[in-house]
Every structure is written in C-alpha cells, then in structure tokens.
Amino acid sequence: MDKVATSQVTGFTLNNAPVQVAARPGERLSQALRERLGARDVKIGCNAGDCGACTVLVDGAPVCACLMPVQQAAGRRVETLAGLAQGDPDALRLKESFQHHQAAQCGICTPGMMVSAVALLRAEPQPDVAQVQDALGGVLCRCTGYRKIIDAVVGAHAADTLQEAAQELGAPARRFDGKAKVEGRDLFGDDVAPEGALVARVIRSPYPHARFSFGDLSAFAARAGVEAVLTAADVKGLNAYGVIPGFIDQPVFAVDTVLFRGEAVACVVGDAETMLALDPADFPVSWEPLDALMTVPQALAEGAPLLHSDRPGNIMCGGFVACGDAEAALAAADVVVDGFYETSFVEHAYIEPEAGWAEVVEGRVVVQACTQATGMDRETLAQVLGIDRADIRILPTAVGGGFGSKIDVSVQPFLALAALRTGRAVRMCYTRVESMQSTTKRHPARIDIRVGAKADGTLAGLSFHGDFNTGSYASWGPTVANRVPVHASGPYFIRDYRAQSRAVHTHCPPSGAFRGFGVPQSAIAQETAFDVLADRLGMDPLEFRLKNALRDGQPTVCGQVFEQGVGIHACLEALKPAYQAAKRACAVFNAENDGVRRGVGVAGGWYGCGNTSLPNPSTFKAGLRPDGTLVLHQGAMDIGQGSNTVIVQIFARAFGVPVADVTVLGADTDITPDAGKTSASRQTFVSGNAARLTGEALRAHVLQLANASDGAEIILNDGHLHVRDADRVQHVDLSRLEADPEGYALKAVKTYDPPVAPMDGNGQGVPYAQFGYAAHLCVAEIDLKLGQVTPVSFTAAHDVGRAINPLLVEGQVQGGIAQGLGMALMEEFIPGRTENLHDYLIPTIGDVPPIETLILEIEDAHGPYGAKGLGEHVLIPTAPAIFNAVYNATGVRLMHAPATPARVRAALKEAGYA
C-alpha cells in the first residue's frame, strides 16, 4: 500500500456485503457505520470504550467500533448484530435465548452483548458462567443486572429446546417488543433522524457558578456551516421548565448567571460536518467564575449566598410526618441507637444518552426523542415555545434506560427551538460527558436517625432528619422531600414517629427523580440502625423485623390503615430458609478462612405507588374497527421495564381475548391519551387499571350488542367477532355499525386515578392507594486487608400483589439489585471529576452475584387483578442488606455510601482490624 493513503474511500465487508465509504481521516468506525452505511444497530453509549454498546466483530474479534478508525477496517470483515441476526447460527440461538430469559430489557446494550456473545460461542459453544463474564465484561448494562444475560448465553446452545411461554396474564411471557431488540432493529433516540438533518450542540458552563456575557454572536452565527445560534433571547415563551407547579425554575438557557457546571447558555445549530468539528471553546462567551456552594453544610452556613432569592436559607422545601410522641417514646425506650449517615450523588447511567430530533410539519412541532413522559414533554414545550399543546406532537422512540432522569426534558426544548428557527429537521445526541454533567442525579443525603426499642424488641420511637442536596434547580426535589418522611419508618408499625426532610440548593447539577425518590437513601439509615438495635437487644435481626413488621389493620406513620395487602411480614418470612442456610454457610466459611469474612444481612422496604397525595390519572383508549381489528392505544412509556407487554396482558385479560388478538398503537401524543409518566412505579398499577377498565368497558359494549351475559366468551377470528354465551354463539357484525371519525365501530376510553387524600400538617392522611413490599437477603464477603466488599448472593422476596408477568418481575428485581449494589459499593458522582463511565463506576457483569427471586402475591385492594407496582421497590432494601451483611461479618457499621474499599478499610481499622 502507498505510504500516503490519498484515497478517501475505504472498502470493507459489512455483514458479508462489500461496502465502500468516503470518510474523514480518523473517523470512528461506529460513526461511519451508523451515519454513512445506515448500520444504526451499532449503538453509541460513551465514545470512549467504557460501555461496549458499539461492539462489532472485525475479522471475528470483538472491538469497540468507537475506538477504531474506519480506515483501519480496510479490507477486513465487519459484522454487526443486524447482520448476524439474519443467519449466523450462534446469533440465531442467542436471539431465542435472549428473548426466553428476557436478557434484553431496554435493549440498548443488547447489540454489544449479543455480538460479544457470538464471538464467545464461536470459540466455546457451551461456555460456563465465568467464561461468559470474561467475554461480556466489556459491555455495560444498566437494566438487567446481567444474570439473565449470563443465563441466556450459557443456555444458548440448547436454544432449540426452549418452550415459549403462554402470553396470557400471569404467564412468564416473552416481551412483546423483544424481537426487534435482539435483531438490532429497535430504534432509539439517535436512530431516527432523517438524512441531512442539522445538528444542534449546547454550549455549557465549565463552572459551577459564574457570571457570563456573550461576545459577537452574530459573527459566530455567520460562520460557514452554522445555521443558527440560540440563546435565552430566542425563547418566545417561558424561559423556564420544571416538573412541579410552583417549581418551574430551570431556564432553557441561563441568563447572565449559571448555577451549575454543565448548565446551558446557548445552542449552536449547523450542518453535521461543521458541528462535528466545532470546538465549544471557540464560542464567544466570557466567564467570571464565582464562589460555589457544593455541599449542604456550605449552603446552610450562616450568611451563605442564596441560589434563588425567594428561597431563604437555600432551602427549597421540606417534608414532615409525625405521629404520637417520638421524643417521649425514645426517652422511655430501653435501647436507643443513633447515627449519622451520608450518601452521594448517583448517576442514572443509562447506556443511551439523551437524543432525538425535531421538525416543523404543517406548522406543528414534532419532537421524536427518548422520554419517560410524553404528556409532560408536550406541556413543557407548549410553555417554552409559547404555542398551543395541540400544535405539538411528541413521538417517543424506544428508550435506552431512564430510571427517572428521562422524565425531565433534556434535548427537547433545544430541538424544538432549533427546528422552529431553522425550519429544518434538527437532531442532537448528548455526549456521555454532557449527559452526566447536565441531567438529574439521585440526591445525596445527610441523615440523622434515632431509633428506640423496648427490651422485648418492640420499636419505641423513631426520629429522622434528612437534608438532601437538591442541586441548583427544583426538578423532582419536592417529591423527594415529600416521599422520604412518609417512607423513613420502613414497613414497620411505629406509634411514635417524627421525620423531617429538607431539600437544599447547592451549585450542583439538579437532583431529581431516580428510582425510589430518596427512599433508598433513608432505607440505608433506618434498616442498618435496626440491625444495631437488634444486636444491642440480643435479638436476631430478622426476628426483630418480623416482630415489628406492619400488619393489615395497623396504621402507617401517616395514619393510613390498609385492611388487606400489607405484605412485608410475608416477605420477611419467605427469607427464612435462605437466611438459616446462609448463616450456617457463613459460619463454616469463616471457620475455614483467614483474611476474609462472610456475613448475612437482611433488610426490608416498602414503596407507595403513584404520586404522593396528588391526582395521578392514566387514560387508555381501545376500539374495534369494522374489519374486526381490536386496537389498544397504549400511551404508557416502556423504558425497558415492560409496560408494552404487561399493559397488553392486562387489557387482553379484561377484554377477554388472547394477547395475539390485540393490535397496539403508540405511544404518540397525537393518538394515545395521556397515560401519565413512567415513574413512581405506577404504570402496572395505574395504567394497568386504566387498561383494565378500558378492556372491561369495550367488552361490555360487545356483550350488550350480543345481548350476552357477563361470563360470555368473546372470540375474534379472522376479523369475525363472535360471542359464546353458554351454548349460544352469536356473530356480531361490526361492519354494520357506523365507524366513528377514528374508524372505530366500538370504542372505549377510560381513566383511572388512584384514590388518595391530602396529608395534613403532620403528614397524616392517605398518601398512596397502595404500597408494594420487599425484603432482601445478601451474603457478602469482606476482604479485611483491602476493604473490598463482594456480594456473594442475594435472595429477594417481593410482594407484587399479582405477578402479571413473572419473567418481567424477575427482570425488575435483578436490575434493581444491581443498581442498589452500585449505590452501596461504588457509585459516586462528583461534579467536575467523575463525568464519564470510567471514573464513575457502575457494576459490570462480574460484579452482580446470583439472585434468587421469591415472588409473593398478596392481593392489593386497588391494583389490577391485585397487582402492585414494583420498579422502585427493587433497590430500596439492597444497599442496607449489603451493609448489614458487613455488620454481621465484622461488627463494622457502614454509614457512608458508597462503601468504597478505602472507606470500608478505614472503618475496619477504626474498629481495630489490623
């Protein structure tokens, strides 16, 4: 070859077909594959080799396509999932196995996982667990907890023997949207923009607190390839967004002053090549850095400057719940344990960065992006753009993980403003650094707790004060402040209780919604304090919990009484066999080993499903077309958790036909009613109920037409609708009915809103219509010299009321435990320091041990078919169970999350370990 590659054209084989591509010198292979060759099945999560989502095979070897210049692929054989899934025998087996085990939840890591697994299976057709972990260790997953992926790869060789489960409610049905995910066909936020779309890029503050001024913006906007520069001056509506009325405080573009590192001040729009070459440092803005308040103590200090002038003391809001007399009860208690706990910022770290595109179609703004909340996105854009909601269409893509952060808008306002300004299609995808800098985080907490008990083990008083670092803007901070005092008792009967929370502003990124809304933090304090208390009482920690577990008919700390469905006692009971076995195994292990110790820890948890004491409706629509097509308009966002599957299972059961008879449309704000946001573990419960009511209403229409009884059977066959009632079978001719403007011969629209009631000044009331319950057991090993804590196994008991889909229940549990493990042991977002996925660590496939899921079904009075929410419950007991295992093994009480090796080692030394 010539020493100088003057030719700009690179030729190679892509999925067995010769391709040629004229790329920039040094262009990433991933970029060339996606943007020049249409291989959108190659996903980009970090552009730094930290996540492995972009894994492709080059001459059979897995590599990160983001780290290879496309020119290096010249003459070589490149394979991606979409190609492999067409006919590679190992990929075909993996496709079956991945679906069977639900190894793909959101699906964004699936191409990287499956491509890596193909390379493994080619070398080792029947790998063991360790081989799978070694081979897939370079691909991060944030949804599954990895164990289902391991199962799927280990079992792939026998894929042709797998029996496909039934689809009806209660069966462990494969995800209905799973096939596209395992074939690389699912389309995420950055996969849908049309060719030639302009690219938008946000200019962000490099300082946590600074004043700024712009230079010559019009000169910058006149640069070749730049189409527009947007700033606050270009926001025609309200230059603010937020999620809670009264707390709409985050500017789309900051004006004069920024309050966190990563805050947007401007947006540049231009053609793709220009934008790729853009150096944000060239943008005409000058900064005057100001002192920043980065911690709660700094922000609360006497005389600290205010982030928001109308929020004295930098306190945004607070929450309070009290019953009985906590102080008196503690004074009268036989044993009291207190403690101060600290937790850290936790990053959602979904593998799909925020992405999407927008255009203006016939005067309406259409935004297609990854989101958890289509209705709220539309609401926000209407305010920001100053246009009517009806003139906005939110068309969500598949969502590559959300976990709370994609409830808030990110790219949407920029895209909409840019599309309106330029009149052209505009796309953007956050870089990983940008995503981590600018989107919401889990609140760091500083918690003081005191818990008392009588000598017989009865809880006697709990006092809780938590300060939560809510960052620079409100986001979901008020929700965290409200939820924590309601939940900080844990699922226990406590007569005398006082819990207070405060959300405190700092110059950090906004803290917002993250799986559990503050409850995982408070559970660490409460559940680990319980173990110390049990220890001082000489009681077994599991027995202590059983003694105090809330029962049907007993009031919660909010005075709410559930006459049925309080499942914590059953969850704790269910752990007993594993607990006894684990205690014996730990004793044997500790007798045989030096330098490492094993312990067993348990923790309980509960979580109220839906908004706290606020309306939280979901609306569904379904219809029968004259041709007999049964259509469900499904607006609940599936962010990997499975509402595309579970909601349809519920609707099909309610209407009374097999799942296969249902045609599902949406989500799309033009055609789906607002199902509300995917948050607060509400979709199965709230939207499930709306789908159930809709199915029942449509069924009632059909039965009425057929003059049939409630128990009649509806049969949809080739467009023919029959009703069988006892021995009578009647044909219902839908084509004889006049179709409505939407084309439906019969239609039903139903709303469900959970029955809640406001709380009074002491937090007494009806915050939630239902709670779900959980108890986890963890066996952990502690390396005494290195301070490393390694979970060895988990047993997780979850009361889900009714398992609509047990396979998806297991997926939620395992994924939640992986996130709880990360929060407990390694995850710590530090603004300005851990803004990437190699300094910010999340668990890999080698860090999550086997998890046994025990599904309990203690029917809820309100849930559809008794079902309770689950998504957030799954990580609440995890971290305290790990910490309690460490306490059991070593007597060392961990009070700072994450318990990194350095922190654990320091605690061990303080406790006298050599």
Partner 1 sequence: MSYLIPTTLEDALDALSGPVPVAVIAGGTDWFPAQGERAYGGTLLDVTRVAGLRGITPHHDGWRIGAATTWSDVLHADLPRAFDGLKQAAREVGSVQIQNAGTVAGNLCNASPAADGVPPLLCLDTEVELSSLRGVRRVALGAFIAGVRQTLRAPDELVTALYIPPLPAGARGGFTKIGGRKYLVISVAMVGAVLELSSGRIASARVAVGAASPVAQRLEVLEQALVGADLAGALDQVTPARLSTLSPISDVRGSAEYRGEAVAEAIRRTLKLIMEGPSHG
Does 847 engage in binding with partner 1 (CB under 8 A)?
yes
Given 11, 67, 308, 617, the residue binding partner 1 (CB under 8 A): 67
Report, in Å, the least distance between residue 614 CB and partner 1: 39
The 3-class SS string of 384-444 reads HHCCCHHHEEECCCCCCCCCCHHHCCCCHHHHHHHHHHHCCCEEEECCHHHHHHHCCEECC
In order of 141, 555, 743, 848, 906, the CA distances from 899 in angstroms are 22, 35, 58, 16, 10
Closer to partner 1 at the Cβ: 592 or 718? 592
Structure-token pair, residue 774: 């959980």
Query: Toward partner 1, which CB reaches closer, 71 or 853?
Result: 71
66 binds partner 1, rule: CB under 8 A: yes
Site string for partner 1, 554-593 (x = CB under 8 A): ---------------------------------------x
By beta-carbon proximity to partner 1, the closer residue of 143 and 648 is: 143
Least distance (Å) from partner 1 to the CB of residue 203? 14
User: What character string, x for contact with partner 1 (CB under 8 A) and - otherwise, covers 259-298?
Assistant: --------------x--xxxx-------------------
Report, in Å, the least distance between residue 592 CB and partner 1: 9
**901 is a site residue for partner 1 (CB under 8 A):** yes
Stretch that binds partner 1, among 133-141, 333-341, 362-370, 765-773 (CB under 8 A): 133-141
Nearest-angstrom CA–CA distance, 100 and 610: 30
Q: Read out DSSP for 474-512?
A: -TTHHHHHHHHHHHTT-SB--SSEEEEEEEEE-SSPPB-
225 makes contact with partner 1 (CB under 8 A): no
Least distance in angstroms from the C-beta of 839 to partner 1: 6
Residue 3 interacting with partner 1 (CB under 8 A): yes
Taking CB under 8 A as the binding criterion, the range among 65-73, 249-257, 315-323, 680-688 that sits at the site for partner 1 is 65-73
DSSP 636: S
Select the span of 373-381, 528-536, 649-657, 896-904 touching partner 1 (CB under 8 A): 896-904
How many binding residues for partner 1 (CB under 8 A)?
65
By beta-carbon proximity to partner 1, the closer residue of 24 and 583 is: 24
- d(Cα 492, Cα 453) in Å, to the nearest integer? 13
By the 8 A CB rule, do 234 and 417 touch? yes
26 contributes a contact to partner 1 by CB under 8 A: yes
Residue 536, classed as helix, strand or coil, is: helix
Q: Which one of the spans 181-189, 284-292, 610-618, 835-843 is the region binding partner 1 (CB under 8 A)?
A: 835-843
Q: Are 660 and 645 in contact (CB under 8 A)?
A: no
Distance of alpha carbon 348 from alpha carbon 510, whole angstroms: 13
Please name the helix (run of DSSP H) or strand (run of DSSP E) that holds residue 522, with its range, or none.
Answer: helix 519-537
Q: Which of 28, 502, 547, 802 binds partner 1 (CB under 8 A)?
A: 28
Shortest distance, position 162 Cβ to partner 1, whole Å:
27
Note whether 820 binds partner 1 by CB under 8 A.
no
Cβ(765)–Cβ(586) below 8 Å: no
How far apart (Å, rounded) are the C-alpha atoms in residues 409 and 201? 16
331 binds partner 1 (CB under 8 A): no
Q: Is the bond preceding residue 280 a cis peptide, omega within 30 degrees?
A: no
Whose Cβ is closer to partner 1: residue 193's or residue 697's? Answer: 193
CA gap 570, 270 in Å, rounded: 59
Whose Cβ is closer to partner 1: residue 134's or residue 256's? 134
**What sign for the dihedral angle of Cα 299, 300, 304, 305?**
positive
Strands 55-58 vs 77-79: parallel, antiparallel or unpaired:
antiparallel
Q: Would residue 110 be called left, alpha or beta, if left means φ above 0 and alpha means ψ between -120 and 50 degrees? A: alpha
Contact flag: residue 224 with partner 1 (CB under 8 A): no
Q: 849 to 888, contacts with partner 1 by CB under 8 A? A: none
- Work out which of 787, 801, 831, 866 binds partner 1, going by CB under 8 A: 787
HSE (side-chain half, CA atoms, 13 Å) at 824: 32
Part of the chain binding partner 1 (CB under 8 A), chosen from 338-346, 533-541, 711-719, 779-787: 779-787
Q: What angle do the packed helices 576-592 and 878-890 form, to 10 degrees?
A: 40
Binding site for partner 1 (CB under 8 A): 1, 3-6, 24-28, 47-50, 52, 55, 61-64, 66-69, 71-72, 74, 116, 119, 133-135, 137-140, 273, 276-279, 431, 433, 593, 785-787, 826, 828, 830, 833-834, 838-839, 841, 843-847, 900-902, 905-906
